[in-house]
Structure 1
Amino acid sequence: MVRGEAGIGKSALLDDLASAADGMRVLRAVGIESEAELPFSGLHLLLHPFADRLEVLPSQQAEVMRSAFGLAEVPVRDPFLIGAATLTLLSDLAAQRPLVCLLDDAQWLDRASSDALFFAARRLHDDPIAMVFAVRDTVQPFPTPGIDAMRLDGLDRASATDLLAECAPELTVPVRDRLLDEAGGNPLALIELAHALRDGLVEQAGPLRVTGRIMDAFRAQLGELPAATRLLLLLAAADGAAELGVILRAGETLGASPVHLGSAEEARLVVTSGEEIRFRHPLIRAVAYQSAPHHQRIAAHRALAEAMSAAEDADRRTWHRAAAATGPDEEVAGELERTAERARHRGGTMAVASAYERAARLSADQEGKAQRIVRAARSAYDAGRPDWATRLATEAAALTGEPGVVAEAAYVRAQVEYERTSPAADAALALEGAMLITRSDPERAVSMLTEAVWAARDACAHDLLRRSVTQLETVPLPAGSPLTPVTAALIGYGKLSDGDPGTAVAPMRALVKAVQAGTVQDFVERVIAGFMGLLIADDEAATEVLETLAADVRAAGSLGWLPYVLEPLAIGRLLRGDFRGAQADVAEATSLASDIGMDMQVTVLKAISVWLAAVTGDADECRALAGEVLEHAALHPTNAALASWGVGLLDLADGRCEQALDRLDAVCAGPARHDLLIRAVPDHVEAAVRSGRADLARRHLPTLAAWAEHNVLGSALELRCQAMLSDGEQAEEHYRAALALIPGRPYEFARTRLAYGEWLRRQRRRSEARAILVQAEDAFARLGAARWAERARAELTVLGDRPVARAQADDPLQRLTPQELQVVRLAAAGYSNREIAARLYLSPRTVGHHLYRAYPKIGVTRRMELTQLEL
C-alpha cells in the first residue's frame, strides 16, 4: 500500500513498476469516485478480461464471480466468497507467468471490490504475485490491516530544484524559491504551478494547501476553455466509467458537440482513445465537477441518465437520476430500492446501504423513509460500517413509532455495541427491541432474544440473561415452528446459568438431537446447539454437529460464518483431547477472522489458544496471549475466565500449585462458573490438594456434583476429585471407578491415570505406579500435552526410570504446523489441491507448498501414502 498526498508520485511509481515488469503479466485498474456506489465495478475493471477463465475456479467461486460481473443471476450469500474467488483466479493467472496487479486511487474503489482484493492480498503466500495499491490521503481514513504500507514523501530540495529547472527554466530565482517552499517537494505541484505561473493563470503565492494550489492551477486551465468544452468535461467527470459515445450523446442534448473536446485534448487535460475518455490526473476530474454550478451538475446527471439505454446500465442510470433529483421523488426512490436489491443479490452490501439511504432521502412520506433507512442501517452493519449503521438506526427510530422499525433499529445498534462497547450493551438493546415485537413478529423476536441471551452469557450479565429468558417464555411461536426447540434450549440454558442443571439438561440435549435430525437448519441455531452440547458434556454429539455445520458452511461458501463455527468446534476438540485438531481450527479461524475484520472473534480465539498453549507446553505463548485477552476482562469476562483457566493449568502442570490455586479459585468462583468453566473444578481441587489446602479443595465440589448428576464425564471428574480427597481403599475405589467411566476422553483419562499413579507411588506400590505412569506419559506425549508428559516423566524419575520421550518422537504429526495438518488430512481424504484450496480459502499453489513441506516431516514421498497414516 503506497500512501501519499495528491501529486506526490504514486501513479508515476506504478507506471515505473509496470515498465519494469519484464516477462510478467501486468493488470491495472484505477478507482473512480463516481463508480464507488456500483458493486464490483473495480474488480470488473481489473479481472473482467479473464471472464473466460472462470471455468477453472471451483463451481461456487465461479458462480459468485459471474454474479459479481453481471454475467449470471446467482445470489451471493457471503460476499467474502468473492474474495476467495479473486484469490483463486489470480493464482491461476500467475501459474502461467508471474503477475503484477497495480491499483491506483484505491480509496475510490467500491467497497465490494476493495474487500475482495484485500482479502486475496492477505492470503497470497506462495504465489508469484505482487499487488501494489496506491491510496491518496483524504479526510476519511482508509485502513488496510494486514497489508504492508509505505508513505511517499516529497522530493528533497535538490531533486525538486532539478525538476523545476527542467520543466520551467525561465523562472526567476525568487519565484523559483517561493515555488519550492510552497510545493513542499510535491512533483505535480512543481510542474503544474510552474506552468500556471509562466502562463499567468495563478498568482505567485497563496495560503492554500498544496492540493488546493494544484486544483487552483487546474481550475485556471479549465477557465480558459470554451463553455461547451467545460460542459463535456463535466459530463465525463460525472461518470468516470461512461463510454465516450454516452458522453457525446449527453453533450448533444446540452448543446455541445464532439468538436468541443479538441481544446481539452490540446490543453492535455484529457486523453481520448476509441470509446474511452480519460482525465490526465484525478484532480482534474475533481475540479471539472466541483467547479461547475449546481444547476449544471443536475443537468449533466439528467442528460447522462437519458443517454444510457442499455439494460446493463440500469443501476448507473438510476444513480444519475437520483443525483439529478431536487426533491422527494418516489419513482426514483423505487428504482433505488431495486438497485439495492440487485446489489444485495450480487453481494455488494455497501452498495445496498448507499442505495437504500439515498432512496430514503427521496421518499415522499416519513414512514417509507424510516423503513428504507432501517434497511440501510442493517446493510451498513453487514458491510462493516458500524458508525454509519448506528447513525442510520438512530435516525430510523426517531422517525417513526412503528414497532417493527424501532425494534430492527435497536437490533442493529445492539450488534454494533457488542464490538464497540460490550456484550452487555448488546444484550440490553436486543432485549429492548425484542420486547416491542414479541407478539407481532415472534420469530424475529426469538432471533433478537437469542442475541440477547448469548451476549449476556459472554458478559456474564446474569440479570440481563434472566430477563431475556423470561421474555423468551412469553413468545407465542406458531405451532411447529423450527424455533421451538431453540427457545426451549435457551430457556434451559438460563436455568443452567442459575445453577439448576436438573431442569436445564433435557431441553438443551433436545436441541442437539433436533439439529442432528435435521429439523433445525439455521446456521445460528446450529452453532448454539454445538455450544449447548459442550455445556452439558455431550462433547461427541456437539463435535459431530459442529463438524457437519463446518462442512455445510464451506459447501455454501459462507466464509464469514466459519470463524464462529470453528470457535466451539475447537473447544469441543480440546475438551476431547484432540489438541492438534483444535490448534488447526483456531489457526484457520484466527486467520480468517483477522482477514475479514472480526476483531472480537480474534480475541475469543486467543482465549482458546491460551488453554491450548498451557497444555502443549508453550509457556511464553500462553502468558503473552493471556495478557492480551485479560486486557478486555471487564467487558468480556467469559473469555477472560477461559484464559485464566489456561494460565492456572500451566501453573499447575509446572508445579506452581499455590499460584494455580489462587487463579483457579477465582475462575471457579467467578460469574462463568456454571458455563464451560465448571470443568476447571477438578484442576482447582488438584491445586488445593497439592498446596495442602484440603479445606479449599471442597469449596466448589457441590457445583461440580450437581452438574455431574446429568452426565457421565462429570461423574468421572467428580470421582477423581473425591479420590484426591480420600485415603486408603476409598481413594483407590474412586480412581478405578473414574477410569472405568472415562474411556474415549484421552486427555482426562491420562490426567486420571497420572493422579492415580502418583497416589500409587506414595503408597509405595512402585511396580503398579510405574505401569500406570508409563501409560499416562505415553498418552500425554501422543496428545502433544508436553507439560503433563513432563509431569509424568518426573514421577517416573522418582521411581528410578530414565526420562525418555516415548511416544512423541514416534508421532510425525507433531512436527506439522496446524495448517499443514489440515492440508495433509484433506489430501489423505482424497481431495485435490484445488479442492483443498477452496475449502481452506487458500490458493492451490499455497496448498502445494504446504504438502511439499509436510512430506519430509511425516516421512512420505507420495500422496497415496497419506492414506496409511492415522490422521
Structure 2
Amino acid sequence: MGMADRELLGRSQENAVLDGLLKAARTGQSGVLVLCGEAGVGKSALLESLVGRSQAYQLVRAVGIESEMELAYAGLQQLCKPLLDRIDHLPRPQQEALGTAFGLADGAAPDRFLVGLAVLNLLSDAAGKVPVLCLIDDAQWLDRVSAQVLAFVARRLAAESVVLLFAVRHGEEHELSGLPELEIRGLNDADARALLDSVLPGPVDPRIRDRIVAETHGNPLALMELPRAWSVTELADGNPIGTLSGRIEESFVRRLEVLPPDTRLLLLTAAAEPLGDATLLWQAAEQLGLGADPAAGAIESGLITFGQRIQFRHPLVRSAAYRMASARDRQAVHHALADVTDPETSPDRRAWHRAQATAMPDEEVAAELESSARRAQSCGGLIAAADFLERSTELTPEPARRAERALAAAAAKRGSGALDAALHLLSGVAAGPRDPVRDAEVERLRGQIAFDQGHARDAARQLLSAARRLDPHDPVRARITYLEAMSAAIWASGPEAPGILAFAAAAAPPPVESDPPADLLLQSLALRFTQGYTTAAPHLTKALELASQVEIGTDDVASWLWLAGNRAAGIVAIEVWDFDTAEELALRQERMARESGALVQLQFALNFRANLQCLTGDLSAVAALVEEGRQLAAATGYPELRYGGLLLEAFRGNETTATPLIGETIRTETAHSQGRMAAFATYANAVLHNGLGRYDVARDAGLQVFEQDVVGYGALVIGEVAEAASRTGDTKLVETALAWLAERTAATPTEWGLGIEARIRALLTADEDAYRRSIEHLGRTRLAIEVARSQLLYGEWLRREGRRVDARDQLRTAHDQLSQMGFEAFAERARHELLATGETVRKRSPETLNDLTAQEAQIAGLARDGMTNPEIAAQLFISPRTVEWHLRKTFSKLGITSRRQLRGALASPA
C-alpha cells in the first residue's frame, strides 16, 4: 500500500463529491468548494489525489504561506502565473488592474474587485478550450487581498467550466465564509486502526492502540507521524496526545532534532524562503557555508523534496523547522536570503528578509520597509502596506520619525479595515514627542475610525476638534477635516441632529464662490443650518450647478464620494427639489464605481438610484437595481444595503415584507447612531401606511422625520405628512407643512416643489385649481408616482364633493397608472374610490414574465438595449460566458431564438 493510498483510506464519499464537481465542469458548470478540517486530517491529500484524476483539465494552483501573508497579491500571482499569457485577451481596464496588482505595469492603485473581475475572465478564457481546475491549499495563510479577490471570483463563477477548491484549517481566520463547504473529518475507527497498524514499529497493546485512535480522532497525519516520533516506552505508556496540531508539530520537531545542525539550518532556510525557489535556496545555502551533505541529509529525512520548487512534506514541517530554530539562526538565514534576493525584481521580499534579520533599530532597513509600503499601496495592497509600516515603526530609532511612521501605519490599517489594530497603533503615537499637527492628525484618524465603526455622533465631535487644532498649522487639511466632520454630522441626523449639525456648521468656513464645488457644497450646507434654507439655497444651487459641470476621474472617488453618491449629492439635490441633478449625480457615481471596480460604493449608488426610480414609477427598473445590489453583496461578502429594496416594498404596499424590514432597519441604525438611515426607514413607513390607508400611523411616522429636519428628506416626507394629516383632521399640521414648503418654493421654485405645494394647498383649502396646478407642475417632471397620487387625491376630493362623473375620470386614470406601475396599495385605494362612485373595477393581479429571475430579466434588458455580452459582463461583474448562459435560459423561457427578438418579447425601457 503506497503513501497516497494510505492517506486516502476511507475517503470514498469525499472523492465522490469532488468527482461530481469535475464532471459538472465538463458540461459547462463551475463549482466551488472549501475543504475545512484540522491540521493533518487529509485536505491536501484529497487535493493531490484529485490532480491524478484530472489529466484532461488545465491545472493552476497556489499554496498559502504564513510568512508571505504580508505581501499583497502574492497568492493570486502564484495561481495566475500559468495564465498570464492570456492577459491581452482581457478588456483594457482589467489588463491594467491586473498588471498593476502584479507589478507588471505602473498605474493607480487598482480596486481589488476590478482585479477580481480580471481573474474571473482570465479563468473563463482559459476554460474556453478545456475545463480549469484551481487548487488553493492552506488558504487561511493567503495574503488577505488575494483571499478577498478569490472569494469574489468564487461567488461569481457560474458557467465557466472552472472548479475552484480551497483547503482551510479549522480555527484559523479566512475570507471564504459563505462559500459551499465540505468538512473533512478523521477516519472511522476501522480505517484508523488499519492506518495505524501500517506504521507501528511492532506489536502494541490493543488498549494502547485504541487509545491512540480515540485521542487522534482518526486524524491520518497524526496516526502516521506520531508513532514515528515516540519511543518504545512512550508507545507502551500510551503517550498522551495533548493538543493535536501541537503534538503533530512536536513529532516533526523530534525528527528534526536528530538531524545534523547544518541539515537543520538548510531546512530552516527553506522554511524562511516562501517562494520555494531552488535557485534562491542554494544561493543562500552557499552564503551560509552549507555544502552538499546537509542537502543529502534533508532528502534522507523525508521531510522535504528538492526540485524546481521546494516542497515540505507538510506545512507543519515548515512551521516546526522555523519555530524550533534559535533567534540567531533565524536572523542569519534571513540575512543570507536578503543578500541573494534581487533588489530590482523583488525589493519587497528583500526588505522583509532584512527586517527579519534585524534585531535592533536600523533606519536604513526601516526606510526600505517604508518604500515597500509605498509600492504595496500603489498596487492596492493596503494590508501589506500597513504591515510594512508597522515593522518599519518598530525598527525606527528616532522617536519623532517613529511616531510619524506609526501614524502612517495606523492610517493604512484603517484603510484596510483593521480598525482595532489602527487604534492600537495610535496609542503608540502618543508616546512620541509632542507635535501639534501630529496630535491633531491622531484625533482626526480616531474620528474617521469612529465613523467607520458607525458612531457618527462621536466621529463628528472628534473631527471638529481635530479641524480646530489643524487650523493654525495647516488650513488645507483643516478644511478637509471640517468637511469630514459635517459629513459625519449629517449621517448622525436624528433626535440630536439639530445640536450636532449646528455645532458642526458653526465651525465650518463660510462659502466662497471661488471654492471647489465639494467645498462650496458642504459649506453651503453649513449655512443651511446656521442661517436657514432661504439664505443657503442660492449657494446650494450654485454648488450643484458647478458639480454637474466638473469631469471627475475614477481616482477622485474618495474625495468626491459624498458628492457623487447617494450620501450627499442626492441629499443636497433633493434638498433643493432638483430631481434631474440628483439622478445625474447618481448615474455619475454608478459609472465611476463601475469603472474603478469600487463595488461597495456601487452598492450605495444602486440603492440611491433605486430610491429615485421609485419616484419615477419604474418599479421594474428598481427591482433590477435592488437585485444587482444583492448580487454584489453576495459577491463581495459585504453586508447588503437594503434601503432601495425597503422603499420598493413600501411603495408596492407589501406590508408582509416591508414592515419587518422597516422595523429591523430602525432598530439597527438607531443602535449604531446612524440616525439618517433610521429616519429613511421611518419615511418608508409613512409611505407604506399612506398607501394602506392607515393615516394615523403614516402621520406619526412622517412627522417624526419632519420634526428632526433631516437634510434632504424634507422633500420626500412633506407630502406624506400633509396627506396623512389631512385624512386625520389635523388641519394645524397641514398648515405647518404648507408654510414650510412655501418658504422653500419661493427660494427654489422647481416643478417638483411647486407641484407638491399646490397639492398641499388643495388639501388644506379644497381649491380645485390647486389640484389641477399640482398635476400640471408634476406632469412636467419624471415623477410619475407623484402625478398619479395627485390625481388620486383630486379624485377622492371630487367624490366627496358628490361629483361622481368627474371623480371617475381622475380615479380611473390614477388607478390605471398605479396598477400598471405596480403600486398595488395606492391602486387599491383608487379602486375602492371608484367602487364608491358606482363604477365596477376588476382587481388586477400581478403578472410575471415567463418566470424570468431578476438577474435574467436584468441581463435580457441590457441585451435588448444593445449591449454586447462583454459589456454586460463588465457592468454586472460576471464573465461573458455567464451572460451567454443566462441569455440561453432566457431565450428558452421567452420562446425566442435571438437577441433581435428581445425587443418584442420584453417591455421597452422606461
Q: Same fold (TM over 0.5)?
A: yes
Aligned with residue 278 of structure 2, among 228, 237, 244: 244
* Corresponding position of 1:688: 725
Q: Distance in 1 between matches of 2:402 and 2:384?
A: 18
* Corresponding position of 1:723: 762
- CA distance 1:249–1:750, shift in 2 (3 Å): same
Q: Distance in 2 between matches of 1:821 and 1:591?
A: 14
Q: Distance in 1 between matches of 2:199 and 2:184?
A: 21
Q: CA deviation at 1:175?
A: 2.7
1:446 is aligned with what amino acid? R
- Kept after mapping to 2: 8 A contact 1:778/1:806: no
* Corresponding position of 1:190: 223
1:237 is aligned with what amino acid? A
Partner SS for 1:571: helix
- CA distance 1:96–1:618, shift in 2 (3 Å): farther
* Corresponding position of 1:493: 525
- Kept after mapping to 2: 8 A contact 1:535/1:676: yes
- CA distance 1:675–1:515, shift in 2 (3 Å): closer
Q: CA deviation at 1:853?
A: 4.4
Q: CA deviation at 1:105?
A: 0.6
Partner SS for 1:742: helix
* Corresponding position of 1:73: 106
Q: CA deviation at 1:59?
A: 0.8
- CA distance 1:242–1:432, shift in 2 (3 Å): farther
- CA distance 1:313–1:260, shift in 2 (3 Å): same
* Corresponding position of 2:744: 707
Alignment of 1:356-375 (within 5 A): 356-375=389-408
- Kept after mapping to 2: 8 A contact 1:146/1:595: no
* Corresponding position of 2:620: 580
Q: CA deviation at 1:705?
A: 3.3
- CA distance 1:717–1:384, shift in 2 (3 Å): same
Alignment of 1:206-285 (within 5 A): 206=240, 208-273=242-307, 275-285=308-318
* Corresponding position of 1:516: 548
Q: Distance in 1 between matches of 2:159 and 2:439?
A: 49
Q: CA deviation at 1:230?
A: 0.4
- CA distance 1:314–1:544, shift in 2 (3 Å): same
- CA distance 1:247–1:123, shift in 2 (3 Å): same
Q: Distance in 1 between matches of 2:601 and 2:36?
A: 32
* Corresponding position of 1:773: 811
- CA distance 1:338–1:467, shift in 2 (3 Å): same
How many residue pairs get matched? 855
- Kept after mapping to 2: 8 A contact 1:511/1:529: no
Aligned with residue 455 of structure 1, among 465, 488, 500: 488
Q: CA deviation at 1:847?
A: 2.1
Q: Distance in 2 between matches of 1:468 and 1:172?
A: 78
For the pair 1:663 / 2:701, whether they are aligned, the reply is: yes
TM-score, normalised with respect to structure 1: 0.92
- Kept after mapping to 1: 8 A contact 2:112/2:597: no
Aligned-residue RMSD, C-alpha: 2.8
For the pair 1:799 / 2:805, whether they are aligned, the reply is: no
Q: CA deviation at 1:419?
A: 3.9
Alignment of 1:235-634 (within 5 A): 235-273=269-307, 275-309=308-342, 311-460=344-493, 461-473=497-509, 481-482=515-516, 485-497=517-529, 500-518=532-550, 522-523=556-557, 524=560, 525-527=563-565, 528-593=568-633, 595-596=635-636, 598-599=638-639, 602=640, 605-632=641-668, 633-634=670-671
* Corresponding position of 2:26: none
Q: Distance in 1 between matches of 2:382 and 2:607?
A: 25
Q: Distance in 2 between matches of 1:309 and 1:520?
A: 40
- Kept after mapping to 1: 8 A contact 2:454/2:674: no
2:741 is aligned with what amino acid? L
* Corresponding position of 1:159: 191
- Kept after mapping to 2: 8 A contact 1:353/1:376: yes
2:44 is aligned with what amino acid? S
Q: Distance in 2 between matches of 1:844 and 1:726?
A: 59
Aligned with residue 830 of structure 1, among 861, 866, 875: 866
Q: CA deviation at 1:804?
A: 4.2
Partner SS for 1:312: coil
Q: CA deviation at 1:222?
A: 0.4
For the pair 1:34 / 2:77, whether they are aligned, the reply is: no
Q: Distance in 2 between matches of 1:474 and 1:367?
A: 35
Q: Distance in 1 between matches of 2:833 and 2:884?
A: 44
- CA distance 1:691–1:100, shift in 2 (3 Å): farther
Q: Distance in 1 between matches of 2:888 and 2:818?
A: 29
Gaps of 5+ in 1: none
Fraction of identical pairs, as percent? 35
2:753 is aligned with what amino acid? G
* Corresponding position of 2:30: none
Aligned with residue 110 of structure 1, among 143, 154, 159: 143
Q: CA deviation at 1:31?
A: 0.4
- CA distance 1:399–1:582, shift in 2 (3 Å): farther
Q: Which moved more, 1:436-445 or 1:642-651?
A: 436-445
- CA distance 1:405–1:733, shift in 2 (3 Å): same
Q: CA deviation at 1:150?
A: 4.1
- Kept after mapping to 2: 8 A contact 1:708/1:714: yes
Partner SS for 2:306: strand
Q: Distance in 2 between matches of 1:699 and 1:158?
A: 82
Q: CA deviation at 1:272?
A: 1.4
* Corresponding position of 1:790: 828
Q: Distance in 2 between matches of 1:746 and 1:816?
A: 26
- Kept after mapping to 1: 8 A contact 2:216/2:241: no
- CA distance 1:298–1:77, shift in 2 (3 Å): same
Gaps of 5+ in 2: 1-33
Q: Distance in 1 between matches of 2:319 and 2:328?
A: 17
- CA distance 1:462–1:402, shift in 2 (3 Å): farther
1:134 is aligned with what amino acid? A
Q: CA deviation at 1:860?
A: 5.8
Partner SS for 2:866: coil
Q: Distance in 1 between matches of 2:111 and 2:306?
A: 39
Q: Which moved more, 1:279-288 or 1:610-619?
A: 610-619
1:5 is aligned with what amino acid? E
Alignment of 1:125-144 (within 5 A): 125-138=158-171, 141-144=173-176
Q: CA deviation at 1:397?
A: 4.1
- CA distance 1:747–1:69, shift in 2 (3 Å): same
Q: CA deviation at 1:365?
A: 0.9
Q: Distance in 2 between matches of 1:723 and 1:499?
A: 30
Q: Which moved more, 1:316-325 or 1:696-705?
A: 696-705
Q: Distance in 2 between matches of 1:459 and 1:415?
A: 14
- Kept after mapping to 2: 8 A contact 1:456/1:462: no
- CA distance 1:556–1:636, shift in 2 (3 Å): closer
- CA distance 1:859–1:370, shift in 2 (3 Å): farther
- CA distance 1:446–1:855, shift in 2 (3 Å): farther
- Kept after mapping to 2: 8 A contact 1:778/1:807: no
- Kept after mapping to 2: 8 A contact 1:781/1:807: no
TM-score, normalised with respect to structure 2: 0.88
- CA distance 1:761–1:493, shift in 2 (3 Å): same
Partner SS for 2:88: helix
- CA distance 1:427–1:708, shift in 2 (3 Å): same
- Kept after mapping to 1: 8 A contact 2:698/2:724: yes
Aligned with residue 45 of structure 1, among 78, 87, 92: 78
